[in-house]
């Protein structure tokens, strides 16, 4: 008995157990302009033997599961999809619905004869240039040898670069994250005493001077914690590689490992607004430094707070209005449209060291520089 497949025309949102035999006529990635970032999504247009088309999306966290199994132009049997309404700009099909791949979606290679390769719908360029065309809808047009399509009405011309792939380009800015373990080891100065590090080894700065630095280096300054930013986000759920894991499909997706992970653990990420007499800025304390500061690992901190606790730990709230010495990176490399944040590499509230620092650099009682 030959298996029966659902037709694309019959796809609706009443169920997820669709069983399609289709040719992937277009496959592309929505690129993330950030360097070395995973694409936002993998997009496809599928056509079945009746010539009906439907759009399908593989979201970022699932690309690794499907990208090696699928090629443009090939025939596949797909089962188990999410079905969503086909709305928005740049629709590739007029189908009322589109398909969203899920973790459980199955892909099997199909026989080439099952869907004809000659099922393109070619639009007439003069219809597109007429002006009342639905511009949210993507079409195929035939190009001349120079990659141009001409519209007669307004003497318009579309030029298509046949040498390169065309992407929809989107950019996001993501906050910096904890460096890789290898970098941590290079920066490990734990054998140097706090006093030596803050008073004798690392050059002193002010927040104002820190913002003007053009060189990648570490500096120390004396400042007061004014506000805990995003105080409910004082930790994040990390993969074993230390990158943030995003909840997805009842597991976590790690962008760095590019896979789903189940083993995750909490890590500190404290965002502090710190002020001195010259300026103020945002500083981030990551896991190792947070554990040193609170003398407690992040998971121990969560355990000690008990299951019913709300909000951040008391130790974090108690930092507000307290004076510390901070050792920070100048963070010259980070290009951002927003105000920069700086990574705290070490901090201390040791009153003796703070007093010596203030005496050495003539810092007044209220943090002013004399
Ligand atoms: Zn990972």
Tell me, what's the pLDDT at 138? 53
* Alpha-helical segments (H) within the chain: 63-66, 125-129, 181-186, 194-196, 207-212, 287-294, 298-305, 314-317, 351-360
Tell me, what's the pLDDT at 39? 80
Asked if the structure places residue 13 within a domain, the reply is yes
Supply φ then ψ for residue 181, to 5 degrees. Answer: -55, -35
CA torsion 73-76-82-84 (nearest 10°) is 40
One domain for residues 49 and 167: yes
Of 151 and 210, which is predicted with more confidence?
Answer: 210
Of 166 and 191, which is predicted with more confidence?
Answer: 191
Count of structural domains, the chain: 2
Asked if the structure places residue 155 within a domain, the reply is yes
pLDDT mean over 324-338: 82
Q: List Cα–Cα distances, 292 to 92, 194, 211, in angstroms.
A: 53, 12, 26
Of 278 and 190, which is predicted with more confidence?
Answer: 278
Tell me, what's the pLDDT at 314? 92
Tell me, what's the pLDDT at 183? 29
Distance CA 214, CA 332 (A): 6
State the residue for tokens 């399509």.
Answer: 149
CA of 59 from ligand 1 middle (Å) equals 18
Residue 159 has pLDDT above 60, yes or no: no
Distance CA 47, CA 32 (A): 27
What is the pLDDT confidence band of residue 89, given thresholds at 50, 70 and 90?
low
Distance CA 299, CA 305 (A): 10
One domain for residues 81 and 132: yes
One domain for residues 161 and 192: no
One domain for residues 221 and 298: yes
Q: Express each pLDDT in 68-86 by its tens digit.
A: 989 998 999 999 888 888 8
Distance CA 84, CA 103 (A): 16
Task: Report the chain's C-alpha Rg in angstroms.
Answer: 28
Residue 321 has pLDDT above 70, yes or no: yes
Asked if the structure places residue 16 within a domain, the reply is yes
Distance CA 290, CA 268 (A): 6
Tell me, what's the pLDDT at 250? 85
CA of 155 from ligand 1 middle (Å) equals 53
pLDDT mean over 338-344: 84
CA of 178 from ligand 1 middle (Å) equals 12
CA of 174 from ligand 1 middle (Å) equals 17
Residue 153 has pLDDT above 80, yes or no: no
What is the pLDDT confidence band of residue 368, given thresholds at 50, 70 and 90?
low
Q: Which two tokens stand for residue 329?
A: 């990176």
What percentage of the chain has pLDDT greater than the value 90?
34
Of 363 and 256, which is predicted with more confidence?
Answer: 256
Tell me, what's the pLDDT at 114? 80
CA of 240 from ligand 1 middle (Å) equals 6
Distance CA 44, CA 64 (A): 15
Of 96 and 118, which is predicted with more confidence?
Answer: 96
One domain for residues 115 and 205: no
Asked if the structure places residue 72 within a domain, the reply is yes
CA of 244 from ligand 1 middle (Å) equals 8
One domain for residues 146 and 13: yes
Residue 161 lies in domain: 1-172
CA of 298 from ligand 1 middle (Å) equals 18
Asked if the structure places residue 243 within a domain, the reply is no
What is the CA 153 to chain-centroid distance, rounded?
Answer: 44
CA of 367 from ligand 1 middle (Å) equals 41
Asked if the structure places residue 1 within a domain, the reply is yes
CATH number of the structural domain spanning residue 197: 2.40.50.140
One domain for residues 15 and 61: yes
CA of 315 from ligand 1 middle (Å) equals 29
Q: Which of 152, 172, 192 is the last residue of a domain?
A: 172
Please choose, from the candidates 318, 316, 328, 322, the residue with its C-alpha nearest in 3D space to the C-alpha of residue 291.
Answer: 316
* Partner residues linked to 261 by β-bridges: 252
Poorest-pLDDT segment among 3-12, 164-173, 339-348, 352-361? 164-173
CA torsion 309-314-320-325 (nearest 10°) is -130
């Amino acid at each position: 008995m030959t298996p029966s497949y659902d037709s694309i025309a019959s796809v609706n949102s009443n169920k997820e157990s669709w069983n399609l035999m289709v040719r992937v006529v277009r496959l592309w990635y929505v690129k993330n302009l950030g360097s070395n970032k995973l694409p936002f999504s993998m997009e496809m247009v599928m056509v079945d033997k009746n010539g009906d088309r439907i759009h399908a999306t593989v979201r970022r966290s699932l690309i690794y599961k499907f990208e090696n199994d699928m090629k443009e132009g090939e025939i596949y049997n797909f089962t188990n999809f999410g079905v969503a309404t086909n709305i928005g700009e740049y629709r590739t099909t007029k189908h009322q619905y589109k398909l969203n791949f899920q973790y459980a979606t199955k892909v099997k290679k199909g026989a080439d004869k099952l869907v004809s390769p000659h099922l393109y719908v070619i639009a007439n360029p003069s219809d597109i240039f007429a002006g009342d065309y639905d511009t949210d809808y993507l079409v195929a047009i035939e190009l001349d040898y120079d990659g141009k399509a001409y519209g007669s009405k307004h003497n318009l011309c579309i030029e298509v670069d046949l040498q390169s792939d065309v992407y929809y380009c989107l950019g996001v800015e993501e906050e910096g994250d904890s460096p890789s373990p290898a970098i941590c080891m290079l920066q490990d100065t734990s054998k140097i005493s706090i006093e030596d590090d803050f008073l004798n080894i690392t050059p002193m700065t002010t927040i104002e001077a820190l913002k003007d630095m053009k060189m990648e280096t570490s500096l120390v300054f004396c400042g007061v914690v004014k506000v805990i930013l995003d105080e409910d986000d004082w930790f994040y759920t990390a993969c074993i590689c230390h990158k943030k894991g995003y909840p997805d499909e009842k597991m976590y997706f790690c962008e760095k490992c590019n896979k789903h992970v189940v083993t995750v653990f909490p890590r500190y990420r404290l965002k502090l607004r710190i002020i001195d007499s010259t300026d103020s800025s945002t500083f981030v304390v990551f896991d190792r430094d947070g554990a040193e500061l609170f003398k407690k690992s992040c998971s121990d901190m969560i355990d000690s707070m008990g299951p019913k606790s709300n909000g951040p730990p008391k130790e974090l709230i108690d930092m507000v209005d307290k004076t510390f010495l901070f050792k920070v990176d100048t963070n010259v490399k980070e290009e951002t449209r927003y105000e920069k944040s700086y990574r705290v590499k070490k901090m201390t509230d040791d009153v003796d060291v703070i007093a010596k620092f203030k005496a050495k650099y003539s810092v007044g009682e209220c943090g002013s520089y004399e």
